[in-house]
Amino acid sequence: MARPREFDAEFALDRAMEVFWAKGYEATSLDDLCEATGLSRSSLYATFGSKRNLLLQSVDRYVERRTPNIAAALARPLPIRDAISALLGEFIDQIVSGPGRRGCFLGNCAAELPRHDRAALARVRQGLTRTEGTFREALVRARARGELAPSADVAALARFLTAGFQGLRLVGKANPDRAVLGDIAKTLLRCLEERNCRRNPHKREFGHDHQTSTACTPPESEAA
């Protein structure tokens, strides 16, 4: 016999995530969560422990749902630049049409959560690390296919793309203008041009006295 929906923890978690995503953690009340999940307060506490624990599990759920989608988009039979361009286009379409204006749930949590809540921020950081890892794996494949320079720093590129997508979604919350978002996307894609991924032994990195950089090195004609 199937369990009643009101006691389906996975369904309740999905609904709770949507509420947190739409309203933010502080603005979400227990009544909001009970209404969305169909659970009473006692059932909510019995299933998830607390509002904060429910948020942490919602973050994990978001990552579980999002990471395979990004991985599938990057696994398309396309050059890496085209695959990422298509993914950016999908994000922009969602922002312009409305649903994407909520921003990234991870980014929203990172902005709202207090700095002293290390456990919660660690959960968010783990989610961003998974996104970064997904980009890195795709970039490694692209480098092996000859689409990136052999010396391209795929780890640095993956971090940059993760930050770039986060920034695009943040800007989209306040300014969902297709032209503006398109300019951001075009500039972001320039880091994947092979000439911009050459090793520059003279480039000084942030936080290091001397270090070799291989990610997004501008061509000589643009370095001046």
Radius of gyration of the chain (CA): 20
Q: SS3 helix, strand, coil % of the chain, rounded to 5?
A: 70, 0, 30
What whole-number distance in Å separates Cα of residue 80 and Cα of residue 157?
Answer: 12
Write out pLDDT tens, residues 21-61.
999 999 999 999 999 999 999 999 999 999 999 999 999 99
Q: Look-up: residue for tokens 């998974």?
A: 130
What whole-number distance in Å separates Cα of residue 215 and Cα of residue 191?
Answer: 7
Q: Which domains does the chain carry?
A: 1-49 (1.10.10), 62-223 (1.10.357.10)
Write out pLDDT tens, residues 67-118.
999 999 999 999 999 999 999 999 999 999 988 888 999 999 998 888 888 8
- Tell me how far CA of residue 194 lies from CA of 100, 153, 159, in angstroms: 31, 11, 17
